[in-house]
Amino acid sequence: MGRYLIRRTLFMILVLFVVSLITFIIFVKLPAADPARRAVGRQTTPENIEAARKAFGLDQPVYVQYGRFAKGLIPWPGLFLDEDVYYSYANFVPVKEEIFERLPVTITLALGAAVIWVLIGIPIGIISAVRRGSALDRGAMVFALMGVSAPVFWLGYLFLYIFWFKLGWAPPSGIPIGTTVLQAVFQGVFILPWIVLALAFAAFYARMVRGNLIESMGEDYIRTARAKGLSEKRVIYRHGLRAALTPVVTMFGLDLATLLGGAVITETVFNLPGIGQYAVQAIYNTDFPSVMGVTIFGAFFFAVANLLVDVAYAFLDPRVRYT
Amino acid sequence: MAEALLEVKDLSVHFPTDDGLVKAVDGVSFTLLEGETLGVVGESGSGKSVSFLTVMGLIRRKQAQIEGEILFRGQDLLTLPPDEMRNVRGAKISMIFQDPMTSLHPYYKVGDQIAEAVRTHQKVSKAEARDQAVEMLRRVGIPRPDERADQFPHEFSGGMRQRAMIAMALSLNPDLLIADEPTTALDVTVQAQILDLLDRLKQEFNAAVVIITHDLGVVAEHCDHIQVMYAGKIVEAGDRRDIYYNAQMPYTWGLLSSIPRLDETGERERLNPIRGLPPSLIFVPEGCAFHPRCPYVFDRCREEVPELLPSDGHHASRCHLPLADKERIFREEIMAKA
């Protein structure tokens, strides 16, 4: 297990390097606008542009430029996203600071939505599978199809229009200035974003749980469980669901990690200052240290979640062993 | 004279499907005595498994049209409410299945799975149930049962898993154990061990046993009675000796001829498969269902469904051939080759 973790951690760092290299090529070497020119503003002199170019290290050879960023990939407190290189020139603050300032919003959004989609999606999936072919099942699957098909930005604006503008049940989008995230939660700012973000996932999870449960209920060991004389409830919940939910745990870990790296569309529609919104702004501003930082941060989350999920699998499925 | 334990009367199990009505079991009647071992033989789709899944109550009225009576100790299981049927299933009648690889739950410890069966039917503590599970594992010949109980199914070999299944099935001391192809998925050497184990445990637990198989060779030594099924019907039934030394139905002859044998010089004979395929259970051939594959077919077979007629007290077959012809063909063509 120890060797496995070391190997996986090294592999994770390799993945971060690949992700950062691709991001570097796209945003630093193939930019739509010269970052140095973009940084100094419209009214400027060629000397100023040259000075900015030097300050960003853009006059250095490419490998030196990438090397500066690469150092910030090592997941170690002093090194990870070090403040000298990962420094936003759009706002003149370290990228790390920007990210940690926005993290509470993103975490609140992601965790709240995750609770909702698990509480909605899994029970719907179970009921659909158990009552397969019934009106209830068909209704649930229509809901699931709509949930999966409806784009988040459309659903977001629709909900805002109905529940804020027309009915006035929900507060408008955005966190009011001077309000902490916790206060915003109690003001109900997150209710619509949670629901909108959760619906698509709930729909997807309902379908996945339904499919998995129908499959596991057809297994031979379910027939054995029935042959033992167990009640149908126990057969479904203890024997069928046990097998059906294991892959769902994997999906859940990865989905949550993706959202912790920023729920771009939801944050944009509801004007929530989270990581996703930061990423979009950084791209608009050609603020390449921020783009690099936020990308690596998201990739880091995802890689760590991947590792955690794989380790968790060993506890969920006794057949899985790590070597 | 032993009492009748299970009496099946004119049982039919028909599944409605989009393609038509699948007549999986079509008018099956038989009696199983206490402590008796019955072999049920037939190809895939002959209705042998479906009949006994219905006895277990694992095929329900929701899924299929079930008619007839299944009397267990005189009580009709088909009219029993689901809750009461659950008390019978696993406790009075239990069942083991073909593939021990997939029949145990991969996520639970073997001992826990057996203990779960115990606790479903008996009011005992977890610790007592576990002790019983370990004791059962010991009785089915699993070494170090105390350690083995804490292992998962994937840590067991195929033969050991089938032993664990048997331990689970016998843990409540049932009156009837149904073994559905218990050895088909196992190595040949392990097959013999499992069948011997069943023989021994049947004595110890004083249970009646039904062995469902497609292989007449498997049941030869282990069954008191044998019934051969084809296309949802019993086509021949009798004592072990009746079937092996005086078979009276061309399908049984086919099964007997298809058992691989070595002759005296050690040369392998060519296998003699039954030609053709089992019939569709939706469009069962008219007359005798076996007639399209039967080498001895004549006009009457194509028109008239033969009855299961007894030739003596314990032997019956479903074939239009005159008895004298059957005996001659069996003696001259089937036994001579075997």
What does A135-165 look like in DSSP terms, one character per residue? HHHHHHHHHHHHHHHS-HHHHHHHHIIIIII
Task: Report pLDDT for A13.
Answer: 85
Task: Report pLDDT for A42.
Answer: 74
Average pLDDT over every residue of B201-224: 88
A92 CB-near residues (< 8 Å, 6+ apart): none
Question: CB–CB of B103 and A221 under 8 A?
Answer: yes
pLDDT at residue A126 is higher than 90:
yes
Q: Are both B159 and B186 inside the same structural domain?
A: yes
Q: Minimal CA–CA distance to B281: which of B15, B7, B52, B59?
A: B15
Task: Report pLDDT for A201.
Answer: 93
The predicted-structure confidence for A142-179, as pLDDT tens digits, reads as follows 989 988 888 888 998 998 899 888 888 878 888 888 78
> Is the residue at B84 inside a domain?
yes
Task: Report pLDDT for B85.
Answer: 92
Q: How far apart are CA A56 and CA A289, in angstroms?
A: 9
Closest approach of B63 to chain A, Cα-based (Å)? 13
Question: CB–CB of B88 and A229 under 8 A?
Answer: yes
A219 and B CB contact within 8 Å? yes
Average pLDDT, chain A: 86
A132 and B CB contact within 8 Å? no
For B298, the token pair is 């004549």
Which candidate from A225, A226, A319 shows the least CB-CB separation from B106? A319
Question: CB–CB of A317 and B87 under 8 A?
Answer: no
**Distance from CA of residue B302 to its chain's centroid?**
29
Which candidate from A220, A242, A246 shows the least CB-CB separation from B102? A220
pLDDT at residue A74 is higher than 80:
no
Q: How many CA atoms lie within 13 A of B243 on its CB side?
A: 28
> Is the residue at B291 inside a domain?
yes
Task: Report pLDDT for A205.
Answer: 94
Looking at mean pLDDT, say which of A64-68, A161-165, B332-336 comes out highest.
A161-165
B185 CB-near residues (< 8 Å, 6+ apart): B98, B99, B100, B101, B158
Ramachandran quadrant class, B287 (left: phi over 0; alpha: psi -120 to 50; beta: rest)? left
Average pLDDT over every residue of B234-252: 90
Q: What CATH number does residue B117 fall under?
A: 3.40.50.300
Q: How far apart are CA B258 and CA A81, in angstroms?
A: 74
Sheet holding B4-17, edge to edge: B20-33, B4-17, B65-72, B75-76
> Is the residue at B187 inside a domain?
yes
- Lowest mean pLDDT across A52-56, A130-134, B289-293: A52-56
Question: CB–CB of B106 and A318 under 8 A?
Answer: yes
pLDDT at residue B168 is higher than 80:
yes
As for the ipTM of the complex, it is 0.88
Task: Report pLDDT for B270.
Answer: 67
Q: Are both B252 and B158 inside the same structural domain?
A: no
Rounded to 10 degrees, the C-alpha dihedral B69/B74/B78/B84 comes to 180
Question: CB–CB of B102 and A221 under 8 A?
Answer: yes
Task: Report pLDDT for A33.
Answer: 66
Task: Report pLDDT for A79.
Answer: 75
B271 and A CB contact within 8 Å? no
Task: Report pLDDT for B334.
Answer: 78
Task: Report pLDDT for B45.
Answer: 83
Q: Where are the alpha helices (DSSP H) in chain A?
A: 2-24, 35-40, 46-56, 62-71, 95-130, 135-149, 152-159, 181-187, 191-217, 220-227, 232-234, 241-260, 264-269, 275-284, 288-316
For A209, the token pair is 């749980």
Average pLDDT over every residue of B220-241: 91
Which chain B positions have a beta carbon within 8 Å of A239's beta carbon?
105
* Biggest distance spanned by C-alpha atoms of chain A: 86
For B194, the token pair is 């499992």
CA of A319: which chain B residue's CA is closest? B154
> Is the residue at B305 inside a domain?
yes
Closest approach of A4 to chain B, Cα-based (Å)? 22
Q: Are both B27 and B61 inside the same structural domain?
A: yes
B62 and A CB contact within 8 Å? no
Task: Report pLDDT for B135.
Answer: 94
pLDDT at residue B4 is higher than 70:
yes
Average pLDDT over every residue of A236-245: 93
Q: Are both B170 and B206 inside the same structural domain?
A: yes
The predicted-structure confidence for A12-56, as pLDDT tens digits, reads as follows 888 888 998 898 888 776 766 677 777 777 777 888 888 888 877
Q: How far apart are CA B227 and CA B48, in angstroms?
A: 10
Which chain A positions have a beta carbon within 8 Å of B88's beta carbon?
229
A224 and B CB contact within 8 Å? yes
CA distances from A268 to A33, A262, B39, B120 (A): 23, 10, 71, 54
> Is the residue at B275 inside a domain?
yes
Which chain A positions have a beta carbon within 8 Å of B90's beta carbon?
227-230
A54 and B CB contact within 8 Å? no
Q: Are both B121 and B192 inside the same structural domain?
A: yes
Which chain B positions have a beta carbon within 8 Å of A243's beta carbon?
105-107
**Per-residue confidence band for A137, with pLDDT thresholds at 50, 70 and 90:** very high
> Is the residue at B236 inside a domain?
no
Task: Report pLDDT for B267.
Answer: 64
CA distances from B85 to A169, A223, A233, B88 (A): 53, 15, 15, 5
The predicted-structure confidence for B78-105, as pLDDT tens digits, reads as follows 999 988 999 999 999 999 998 888 999 9
CA of A245: which chain B residue's CA is closest? B107
Whole domain around residue B215: which residue ranges? 4-223
Question: CB–CB of A243 and B99 under 8 A?
Answer: no
For A129, the token pair is 């599978």
Task: Report pLDDT for B269.
Answer: 63
Q: Are both B89 and B170 inside the same structural domain?
A: yes
Q: Are both B151 and B12 inside the same structural domain?
A: yes
Q: Where are the alpha helices (DSSP H) in A41-134?
A: 46-56, 62-71, 95-130
Which candidate from B99, B107, B117 shows the least CB-CB separation from A228? B117
Q: Minimal CA–CA distance to B256: which of B226, B222, B292?
A: B226
For A141, the token pair is 């699957």
Average pLDDT over every residue of B277-306: 90
* H or E, element range at B197: helix B188-205
Task: Report pLDDT for A78.
Answer: 73
pLDDT at residue A261 is higher than 90:
no
Q: Are both B203 and B63 inside the same structural domain?
A: yes
Total domains, chain B: 2
Q: Minimal CA–CA distance to A208: which of A241, A248, A246, A255?
A: A248
Give the rounded percent of residues in chain A with a pLDDT score beyond 70: 98
Q: How far apart are CA A19 and CA A5, in angstroms?
A: 21
Task: Report pLDDT for A282.
Answer: 87
The predicted-structure confidence for B98-114, as pLDDT tens digits, reads as follows 888 899 999 999 999 99
A54 CB-near residues (< 8 Å, 6+ apart): none
For A240, the token pair is 């069928």
B103 and A CB contact within 8 Å? yes
Which chain B positions have a beta carbon within 8 Å of A220's beta carbon?
97, 99, 102-103
Q: Are both B178 and B280 inside the same structural domain?
A: no
Average pLDDT over every residue of A125-148: 91
Closest approach of A316 to chain B, Cα-based (Å)? 8
Question: CB–CB of B106 and A243 under 8 A?
Answer: yes
The predicted-structure confidence for A267-286, as pLDDT tens digits, reads as follows 988 888 989 999 998 888 87
A233 CB-near residues (< 8 Å, 6+ apart): none
Task: Report pLDDT for B266.
Answer: 62
Return the exposure string of B180-218: e unless at least 16 CB atoms fall within 10 Å of the residue's CB, then b: bbbbebbeeebbebbbebbeebbeebebbbbbbbbbbeb
Q: Which pairs count as long-range contacts for A268-271, CB under 8 Å and 24+ apart, including other chains? A: A268/A153, A269/A152, A269/A153, A269/A156, A269/A157, A269/A160, A269/A173, A269/A193, A269/A196, A270/A156, A270/A160, A270/A173, A270/A174, A270/A192, A270/A193, A270/A196, A271/A173, A271/A174
Which chain A positions have a beta carbon within 8 Å of B122's beta carbon?
none
Which chain A positions have a beta carbon within 8 Å of B87's beta carbon?
229
For B310, the token pair is 């007894």
**Per-residue confidence band for B30, with pLDDT thresholds at 50, 70 and 90:** very high
Q: Are both B72 and B206 inside the same structural domain?
A: yes
Ramachandran quadrant class, B266 (left: phi over 0; alpha: psi -120 to 50; beta: rest)? left
Which chain B positions have a beta carbon within 8 Å of A225's beta carbon?
105
Q: Minimal CA–CA distance to B226: which of B254, B260, B199, B252?
A: B252
Q: Is B91 helix (H, G, I), strand (E, B) or coil?
A: coil
Q: Which residue type is seen at B129?
A: A
Q: How far apart are CA B149 and CA B144, in angstroms?
A: 9
Q: How far apart are CA B164 and CA B151, in angstroms?
A: 11
**Cβ proximity of A126 and A241 under 8 Å:** yes
pLDDT at residue B207 is higher than 80:
yes
Question: CB–CB of A226 and B58 under 8 A?
Answer: yes
Question: CB–CB of B102 and A243 under 8 A?
Answer: no
Give the rounded percent of residues in chain A with a pLDDT score beyond 90: 31
Task: Report pLDDT for B338.
Answer: 58
> Is the residue at B286 inside a domain?
yes
**Per-residue confidence band for A80, with pLDDT thresholds at 50, 70 and 90:** confident
**Cβ proximity of B208 and B33 under 8 Å:** yes
pLDDT at residue B257 is higher than 90:
no
The predicted-structure confidence for A311-321, as pLDDT tens digits, reads as follows 888 888 888 87
Average pLDDT, chain B: 89
Q: Are both B69 and B210 inside the same structural domain?
A: yes
Q: Are both B211 and B253 inside the same structural domain?
A: no
B150 and A CB contact within 8 Å? no
> Is the residue at B232 inside a domain?
no
Question: CB–CB of A242 and B102 under 8 A?
Answer: no
B88 and A CB contact within 8 Å? yes
